Amino acid sequence: MALSASARAPAAIDPYEFRETLGRFATGVAFVTAMPGGKPAGLIVNSLTSVSLEPPLVASLTWQRMRRTGRFAVNVLARQHEDFVRRASPAGTDRFAGIDWELGAGGAPLLTGALAALECEIATEHAAGDHWIVVGRVGGLRTSRVGQPLIFFAGAFGWASSTVTDAPRTDGRESDEA
């Protein structure tokens, strides 16, 4: 339904109340990475969504320096990454200190202990307030069948009570556990 031109402007939203309200939505935690100027860069995010299966597209956040590379990776973090996330979240932190990673085939850093990694090429970008939403075409996947996802809820970290290996497959295929 379209709003008429005479619709009143919404009341101002308090940014702290907005953040607290959105904090009631449990999310996973990811590390978006790229290699601007040949040096690893990363950003801890809890904004990640599947956009399309055909073609395979995901949307997340990046920052200006990372967008210039045209490529990025999304590393889905596990329970054991909680200390890393706390250490790597503040601005100006060396986000690759003390974490094992390797360069993926797409040219972006992949964490060796991530639950999953998606290597992407930037398909489109959208300015959104004080961030950029980047839609990436997925060109490579890496999935671990073990571990517990790191979850962020109400300003605190937690994890699912089951591990990935306990979760039933929903695609009708047999489990590929080794």
SS (H, E, C) 51-84: EECCCCEEEEEECHHHHCCCEEEEEECEHHHHHH
pTM, entire model: 0.82
What pLDDT shows up at residue 176? Answer: 47
User: What percent of the chain shows pLDDT beyond 90?
Assistant: 51
The pLDDT of residue 25 is above 90: no
Residue 177 Cα to chain centre, angstroms: 25
The more confident residue out of 167 and 45 is 45
The pLDDT of residue 175 is above 90: no
Rounded to whole angstroms, what are the CA distances from 37 to 24, 67, 168?
38, 12, 42
Q: Report the candidate in 94, 89, 83, 92 with the shortest Cα–Cα distance to residue 31.
A: 89
CA atoms within 13 A on the CB side of 172: 0
The pLDDT of residue 178 is above 50: no
The pLDDT of residue 67 is above 90: no
Domains of the chain: 26-160 (2.30.110.10)
